[in-house]
Amino acid sequence: MQLIKMIILMFPSILFSNDNIMPKHSILICYGRLEPETIKGYHYVILESQHYNIYEINKIKSQNEKVVAYISLGEINAHSKYFELLKENTFGKNEIWNSYYLNLKSDYTIEKIMEMVKNTLDLGYDGLFFDNIDNFTSFGPQSQQKEDLLKLLKTIDNDYSDHVFIQNAGIQIISETAQYVDAIVVESVASNYTFDDKNYKLRDLTVFENAISELEKVRKKYKIPLILIEYADNMELYNAILKRINDSKFDCFIGNIDLQTMPKFSN
């Protein structure tokens, strides 16, 4: 697979609305249900596939450049239609998101993941957004399954080489995954949402600057697009995040932590 299939132009003019909906950028990420006619003019749209049928996906594709579907390669959510099929092949629970860690060493698990991949792409999506890749890094709950993940990524890439694949997190293993993906997403570089107190805030400036420096090295070495996902709940924080990342020239999406609606920010 060529490493750069996607060019995301993230710094077009910003249009503010009166109800504090997110200023219009060129990437949209939403895991909740949106009306297809409202999703327009984006270079890349990342959606939860179960919310849309093939006709709605075609509608969305006609209004945007690329439409990509969310899929987790490390976890299965309790509300997923595949949960009953895979729950016996899980271990441990991610309490924050009500999901369970998958056992990629199981042939059955791999079979069902490939079934999910096929069923999703058969709906017409241009590619997939691979979530939870950080689970397979040295400090993740599935660190012992890294080789199984790499084998799975290779299989998906070989079978669907004409599609776009975006890796979420797992920058630690990008040297091994870069050949199978077309871009990588890194969350909360400029911002720092804390789940215990449900607080949106900026990350420590020194930590942010060090992270940006490392990401610039990754972008240069692997020549792969990097996208930042940041989180805010008010316009002051939104603007502070935007100010921080503008100089880096990284592509960016700023939204609310649950990613269930079009982002909205209070004054």
199, β-bridge pairs: 194
Looking at residue 25, its pLDDT comes to 64
> Any idea which residue has 């930042």 for tokens?
228
Looking at residue 3, its pLDDT comes to 36
One pLDDT digit (tens) per residue for the chain, 267 residues: 433 333 333 333 333 333 444 444 678 999 999 999 999 999 889 999 999 999 999 999 999 999 999 999 999 999 999 999 999 999 999 999 999 999 999 999 999 999 999 999 999 999 999 999 999 999 999 999 999 999 999 999 999 999 999 999 999 999 999 999 999 999 999 999 999 999 999 999 999 999 999 999 999 999 998 999 999 999 999 999 999 998 888 889 999 999 999 999 998
Looking at residue 214, its pLDDT comes to 96
- Reported as type and span, the H/E element at residue 260 is none
Q: Token digits for 242? A: 């935007």
Taking the C-alpha atoms of residue 164 and residue 6, their distance in angstroms, rounded to an integer, is: 8
Taking the C-alpha atoms of residue 18 and residue 16, their distance in angstroms, rounded to an integer, is: 7
Which residues lie below 8 Å from residue 34, measured CB to CB, with a gap of 6+? 47, 51, 261, 262
CB atoms within 10 A of CB 86: 20
